[in-house]
Structure 1
Amino acid sequence: MKASTYAILVTVMVLAGGLGAYFWGTQGHSSESVPIVKQGDTISVKYYGYIYYGGERRIFDTNIEEVAKDNITYPKTVSFKWRNDFEPLTFKVGDHTMIPGFEKGVIGMKLNETKTIVVPPSEGYPFDWSKVQNYSLVQTIPVIENLSLQDFKKRFGQQNPLDNAVYRDKVHGWNCLILQIDATKGIVTILNEPNVGKYYQPYKNTSSLKIYVEKIKDGKITFKYDIESLPILLPNGGIIDWKNDTMFRVNHNQEVAGKTLYFVVTVIKIKES
């Protein structure tokens, strides 16, 4: 081989190697140019959020219909609400429409990436202790009670009571007889009629909560709340979420308040600022 021919081959090999390095570098650059979420971007995500109760994962929110429908794989919190639609969640990162921990968690995510974001209570939903009330498991009420019309409606769900009518007390579960109605003072006198030694179910859809009537003596009914499992959602929005041998509490905070939150998030769209 002539020296000149060898020199030409070497030159071609060097150029080819250089071109190969160039194209490889371009591909590498392309993979690095996948959109990444940053402050000011408007993004759309699919997600589901869950908390833990006694070691069990419970979904409290999702915009994924399959997750919402599947209560076996994805058991729900007692306050979970079904959506009218399951559209992607769209928001601008940094405009504070989302809780701080969620916003921080999506920053740096790539398009089509799925990630579990862990949000501590301090960056989620605050807990307000003024919205928590403790009650004794054992309570007493008079056999005969005088109720305002407003209190009567809360107990019986009836706006206009009738004399000598029998209504079910939805707060306690037993029947009551209307003894007298004082329309002038707006007072309804009722006779509580539970049976000793019997269980009653207050409210509706609260099978884990029962009332056991222990005794009726000296014009008073003594009963005890029997709480089988927690949490229990009450009609007024409160949640029974704790008990011991003598007390239980009703929490009027959001069910997610004060808890560590877990969000499984997939970024499906990024619009750069």
Structure 2
Amino acid sequence: MERLNLSLPLPYLSVNRDGRIVSYSALADEWFDLSTGHIKSLVDEESVNKLGRISSGQGQAPVKMELNMITKEKPLALFDVHLQWNPENRASMIFLPKDSSNEDLIEKLMNIQNRLASTDFELLEKKDELEHVLRRMDELSGPFIPLSDSLCMIPLFGDITADKINTISESCLQSVFRGNYEVVLFDLTAVGEVQTDGIDQFIQLVKTLNFMTGNVIKLIGIKPNLAKELNHHHLDQWVQFNHSLKEELSIYLQQ
């Protein structure tokens, strides 16, 4: 097995038709026991049968399924698994834990319950509404826009924070995977302040998209403050830069 020298925000495995693990990401090694070198050791019996049916199928279309996985922390944990076969009969697998959002909700509910004893209920309602509005604003600050069968754009608005990038990453990764897009444009013209943890999360997102599509990610409208931050990370192999969205789109309109 080969350990990939890539910093990906979700666990990644590459397996062959027999289920042997060919390569893996650092996060996959952190979450799963890969000592057997086989995907069967990571899933329950029902999930093994499901994987068997998919591995015997033909075609290279992306597949999404639910699998019960055996992790280092839990005997069984439910994951959304995005899988796609390549011409070399190797499947790229990205694992998204389904219960992570539930755990966040449980934690928030516990916090609210503890405060009910000493805080006015109406104030808590307003606080909950405000948190919902702030999360919704983050979601709207990075909409996914398909421009063609192979081209999509994600314009970012406002400050780049870790919370904002985390909020948009899941829907962005799923949309690119489902659509099988080849070119991903990030329009950064409307970006404001840049936080260090936010730019770290953004770079992880860009690297994951690069790995999924096999193509460099194109960044448009870089301002001096953002360019200064990005220059510290040596992204030449992952991204291309263009100052003008009009120039970039004209390339594809002429094709």
Query: Normalising by structure 2, what TM-score?
Result: 0.22
Structure with higher helix content: 2
**More strand as a share of residues:** 1
**Larger relative CO (CA 8 A, sep 6+): 1 or 2?**
1
**TM-score (ref. length: structure 1):** 0.21
